[in-house]
Amino acid sequence: MKNILIVAALALLTACTQTPDWDYDKSANFSNFKTFAWVENASLTKDTTNYQINGLMEKRVRTAVNNELTNTLGMTLVDPAQADVLVNYHASVDKELEVDTFNTGYSNRWGYWGTGFQRDTNAREYEVGTLVIDIVDSASNQLIWRGAKEGRLKKKQSPEQREASIKKTVANILSNFPPQKQH
């Protein structure tokens, strides 16, 4: 029974994918959205005490979102009163458990009945961060698009490595904004 639980836990862990998750309002006309601004009280650091979500990380994420929306998607950053859409974001950090079980030996004893396996199980706790980016229609004040991605947080990174990781994550999340037609 214990082995079944361990296999089930491993299956759940491997099911956690690095592919972003998207959702959007199918009735929204995304072709009309050319300008954006940030929600007035948008903040990554509010409601969190995790040391990796701080003012430096917030600046990196904002810069990456601004660059992706302006340089890749051709949108223009404007004052919130003139924006077609408003951008909001939030982040969370959760602890996960990784369990590895493997056979370390097999024995067949002639003086005893039966055979035996020796198994070794290791468990490691690690942190998983989730970044969520919301796009809100400023005219209706309704959420029209949400993208999220989770990934294992790495410690002991240089500022350059953290910046590159954020750029890649934001580009990955926004790769389906505006949403592609599903057939």
User: Poorest-confidence range of 6-15, 68-77, 117-126, 146-155?
Assistant: 6-15
In a domain, 57, yes or no: yes
pLDDT in tens, 120-179: 777 777 677 889 999 999 999 999 999 999 887 777 888 899 899 999 999 999 999 998
Could you give the 3-state DSSP secondary structure of residue 100?
A: strand
Give the residue with greater pLDDT, 120 vs 60. 60
CA distance 129 to 44: 12
pLDDT value at position 134? 94
> How large a percentage of the chain has pLDDT more than 70?
70
Rounded (10°) CA dihedral 49, 22, 14, 52: -20
| Structural domains counted in the chain | 1
Q: Tell me which DSSP letter residue 159 carries.
A: H
Q: Cβ of 111: how many Cβ atoms within 10 Å?
A: 4
H or E element at residue 165: helix 159-173
Residue range(s) defining the domain that contains residue 119: 2-176
Greater confidence (99 vs 5) lies with 99
Write out the two tokens for 39: 């929600």
Q: Among residues of the chain, what percentage have pLDDT more than 90? A: 45
The answer to whether residue 49 sits within a structural domain is yes
Bridge partners, 3 (sequence order)? none
Residue 60 lies in a domain: yes
pTM, whole model, 2 decimals?
0.72
CATH code, domain carrying 40: 3.30.160
What pLDDT, on a 0 to 100 scale, did the predictor assign at position 130?
86
Residue 78 lies inside a defined structural domain of this protein: yes
Q: Residue 105 pLDDT > 70, yes or no?
A: no
Which comes out higher in pLDDT, residue 105 or 51? 105
Residue 12 has pLDDT above 60, yes or no: no
Q: Is residue 183 part of a domain?
A: no
Q: In which band, very low, low, confident or very high, does the pLDDT at 22 lie, cut at 50, 70 and 90?
A: very high
Q: Is residue 100 part of a domain?
A: yes
Confidence (pLDDT) at 45: 58
- The answer to whether position 95 is within a domain reads yes
Domain-located, residue 181? no
Rounded CA-CA distance 102/120 in Å is 6
pLDDT at 101: 73
Asked if residue 15 has pLDDT above 60, the reply is no
